[in-house]
A and B are shown apart, each in its own frame.
Chain A
Amino acid sequence: MYDIIIIGSGIVGSLVAYDLSRYRLKVAVLEKDNDVANGTTMANSAIVHAGYDPEDGTMKALLNVRGARMYPQLCRDLNCIIKNTGAFIAAVGEEEEQVLDVLAARAEKRGIACELLDGDTARGLEQNLSDNVTKVLSIPETCIIYPWEVAYAAMETAIRNGVELFLNTEVTGIDKVPEGYLVKSGTQAYEARMVINAAGTGTAAIDHMVSDRVDFEPRPRRGEYFVIDADIDYVSRVIFPVPTAKGKGVLAVPTVHGNTLLGPTSEPIEDADKKETSFAGLESVRQQLQKTMKNPPLRNVIRSFAGIRASGTSADFLIEELPDAPAFVHAACIDSPGLASAPAIAAYIRDTFVGKYMPLEETPDAVMTRPAPVVMKNLTPAERDAMIRRQPLYARIICRCEQISEQEIIDCIHGPCGARSIKAVKKRVRPGMGRCQGGFCEPRVAAILARELHIPLTEVLLDSRNSRILEKENR
């Protein structure tokens, strides 16, 4: 019997687990995928929005502002990368300039620093800003993170504090039982007093397993992007167009590792699992980008990808207990700014719902910080030397683009929520994220995974459960 079952290990589920792991509670996380943070948290713009954008009086406004303020400390505690790049919202023409005034007023009211700049001043700071841009609202507080790093770092820490994570565990049914809920996954069943449904695009389907009064419908929206080579310095802060009724528009976003993201589109799709890119979508990124940016570095694209927003018929986040299912809480319609809000969503769920049903008693041995993993690239020569003397495999470079050693890969496989696939390794230590995109190191990473997990090479997965990379041994 668990006190709490969390469904989903995206940024929301992971941070809820992390937050609850400081209390005397028995918590389990059920995740259908074979790795944490493989859903929307894996494919987004990675921006910690400062919180000027959501309309007054919404949950989005409340939680975004709070969440953004929690991130710097959270990232310090978890040893995660966060960069305070700032952002520009770029207006073209008078009508858009008026929107900037509205946003500026909103920002000031919420205590978010901002400044209006004329086009030329802005171009002096961001040389690839389009010549058509007439005015810019500068938001110095905006940060960028490495979203799935925050999620797995939080989950790792939660696991160290006793939270149980069940991967490859898709929730397929839920029974109401006297003491709470029986959450089923195939032939397995897990009982808990309370359930927190943080299943991203899967939230509605799970709600329907316990409730007849689900008051929203999912309307997933796809967003497609290009990733630009880290050698190209295109922007040094996030550049937004002025938001319109159609959405936030196409941005240029620096990433914490020096790449640039161009995107996303926003297009309704039927199937929230379809993370494919499309010819039309990528073309639309190219077109829309021209509104605010010039010299798009499209010759230096190293890949493209798509992410699916868990949008729904509610424009605002829905974080509530279901009316006909006590102690069953969902975090639904967590589209943008879900990432920025996630730490505050976790705190809100704790204070509003968990506290209502169970005592929040801190355990003295909970450790809420995460030791920094060894990243050889960031060490001084003397420090590297010392590491290599302890473990020579820190000197065997597997990924030449990102200069990642064999031991760093081994470390991430054996961590508390260790990597089980080539992509999971890539998420944690980044071999294959550089300019050769894994052409050179992928076979080597596969061999290390096979050896460390004691599985044959033919069982090594690229990503999902059925994504074997090799067909058979050729003997």
Chain B
Amino acid sequence: MMKHYDAVIIGGGSAGLAAAVTLKQNGLENIIVLEKDGEAGGILQQCIHNGFGLQTFNEQLSGPAYAERFIRQAEELNVPVLCNTMVTHMHADRTIEYVNPEEGYQTVTADVIVLAVGCYERSRGAVEIPGDRPAGVYTAGQAQRYLNIDGYMVGRKVFILGSGDIGLIMARRMTLEGAKVYGVAELMPYSNGLPRNIKQCLEDFDIPLYLSHTVTHIYGRDRLEGIDVSAVDENLKPIPGSEVHYDVDTLLLSIGLIPENHLADEAGIRMNPRTRGPVVDENYMTSVPGIFACGNGLHVHDLVDFVTLESSRAAEGALRWLKKPQNDSADILLQAGEGVSYIVPGHVHADMAQPCELFFRVTAQFDTAEVLLKKDGEVIRRTVRRKLMPSVMERLKLNPADLPADGSSLTVEVRERNTK
């Protein structure tokens, strides 16, 4: 007999654990978390730096300490977390196939699936740097894992491509371990990391950040021997003649994270090309009924607190859907207008009963920005915010009263405030 669950949560990182805890606290009994690693906690387990939980616990915790709180909570609530368990397939009829050393291959079904699968790092292939292919080129997360989990340094003379947060954190971490970090090159004219990480991980250690720069050649037959770094023009094309050579043995790539979207693709879930995660509604439900998504597997977050928040909202959404699976009310699209790269959720239902918080990111840096909520081209709400940047996720509250009754769409737009 195929086992059946009220809910299966795929992924035991901060998103999966928060969703599971909320489901259980609200009375959903027969649930299970499937985690492919040997322990729960997800990416947090390799983030041994402080800086987690400022919003949730009002404390500066390390990644593992933050994870530990949720692991313990899940334990206290008797939520089973099955580790060393990889979900290999997920189908639109909500059957799940997984494998682990104890049970072998299993197929189970569920009323609700929560996809909380996290993200993976873009690697060298994605940026197509010409040159050799020696050892010594790592994604920042790989180097972090080697150092924090296995206890090995990947090199001593380091350059970092991309100003994503993991790269910034590794700049500090490797400096503290005695490596020399020569600099961070960022293709864009702005940083992709949080301002606090630029300050605490680069500026405090005198590590230069080269905006509008990229690595244009990799040298070294066996182990990395050096790189060329060039300035880029407005079209992000390298400017010939601007190359500077660095003799380094290590290049870390911190060039972006992508939601782990294998399973969603397989189930035929509609994806957002910008986030590269599923499109969800106000309940965090994907285009396949009963399958929900949250955390970095939905869109990449910079702060774990928002992952936690979002994931318990996704659980609440799942509970609402279980009570009322049929919703015939009109679908209102939430569109990313000028200055906005994406919005999550991507659409809401016209009968939405309570306010919904939208997460969005801007496409460029804004000094003083007007955030506009528009209905039919008409501005229905205008707020002014200081210092918006693509690396920092923004939030916007959407009230039921904001929704157009006729089911047309809403647009969020961001623009620099006119200084007249």
Contacts and interface: CB of A to CB of B under 8 A. Distances in A.
Interface string B224-256: 000000000000001000000000011000000
B58 to A, nearest CB: 32
Interface string B131-150: 11111100101100111011
Interface in A304-358: 304-305
A117 B133 CA distance: 41
B104 A440 contact: no
A246 interface: no
B135 A461 contact: yes
A469 B101 CA distance: 30
A440 B120 contact: yes
Contacts of A388: 99, 101, 104-105
A396 interface: yes
A462 B134 CA distance: 8
A170 interface: no
A465 interface: yes
B135 A467 contact: yes
Nearest to A273: B221
Interface in B84-107: 84, 86, 88, 97, 99-102, 104-105, 107
A442 B121 contact: no
Specify which of B126, B260, B265 lies most central, judged by the most chain A CB atoms within 10 Å of its CB.
B126
B265 A467 contact: no
Interface residues of A, number: 56
Interface of B (DSSP majority class): mixed
A305 B216 CA distance: 15
Contacts of B268: none
A428 to B, nearest CB: 18
A466 B36 CA distance: 33
Interface in A266-315: 273-279, 281-282, 301-305
A464 interface: yes
Contacts of B126: 301-302
Interface stretch (A15-23, A194-202, A206-214, A431-439): A431-439
Contacts of A439: 120-121, 123, 139, 141-142
A94 interface: no
B146 A470 contact: yes
A447 interface: yes
Contact of B84 (A281, A396, A400): A396
Contacts of B132: 274-276
A471 B222 contact: no
B133 A384 contact: no
B154 interface: yes
A474 B130 contact: no
Given A395-B104, A439-B142, A278 B130 contact: yes
A429 B387 CA distance: 49
A444 B237 CA distance: 36
A437 B150 contact: no
A447 B150 contact: yes
Contact of B152 (A463, A464, A471): A471
Specify which of B84, B128, B145, B217 lies most central, judged by the most chain A CB atoms within 10 Å of its CB.
B128
Given A277-B131, A442-B142, A400 B104 contact: no
Contact of B156 (A276, A302, A303, A471): A471
A280 to B, nearest CB: 8
A259 to B, nearest CB: 11
B349 interface: no
Interface size class of B (residues with CB under 8 A): 35 or more
B262 interface: yes
Nearest to A469: B135
Contact of A392 (B101, B131, B260): B101
Nearest to B100: A395
B223 A467 contact: yes
Contact of A458 (B107, B152, B238): B152
A279 B105 CA distance: 46
B180 interface: no
A393 interface: yes
A282 B222 contact: no
B289 interface: no
Interface in A370-427: 381, 384-385, 388-389, 392-393, 395-397, 400-401, 403
Contacts of A226: 128
A466 B136 CA distance: 11
A275 B133 CA distance: 8
Contacts of B218: 276
Interface in B62-115: 84, 86, 88, 97, 99-102, 104-105, 107
B187 to A, nearest CB: 15
A454 interface: no
B49 interface: no
B262 A464 contact: no
A470 B216 contact: no
A435 B99 CA distance: 21
A111 interface: no
A469 B223 CA distance: 8
Contact of B145 (A281, A400, A443, A471): A443
Given A282-B130, A400-B36, A465 B222 contact: yes
Given A392-B101, A401-B262, A440-B120, A471 B177 contact: no
9 contacts: A275-B133, A279-B130, A282-B130, A305-B133, A385-B104, A439-B120, A467-B134, A474-B151, A474-B177
Interface of A: 226-227, 231, 273-279, 281-282, 301-305, 381, 384-385, 388-389, 392-393, 395-397, 400-401, 403, 435-440, 442-443, 447, 457-458, 461-475
Given A388-B105, A389-B104, 14 more contacts: A278-B131, A301-B126, A305-B133, A384-B105, A395-B84, A400-B36, A401-B262, A439-B141, A457-B152, A461-B135, A467-B134, A468-B223, A471-B250, A474-B152
The 6 closest A-B pairs by CB, nearest first: A303-B125, A392-B101, A466-B222, A462-B135, A467-B135, A397-B86
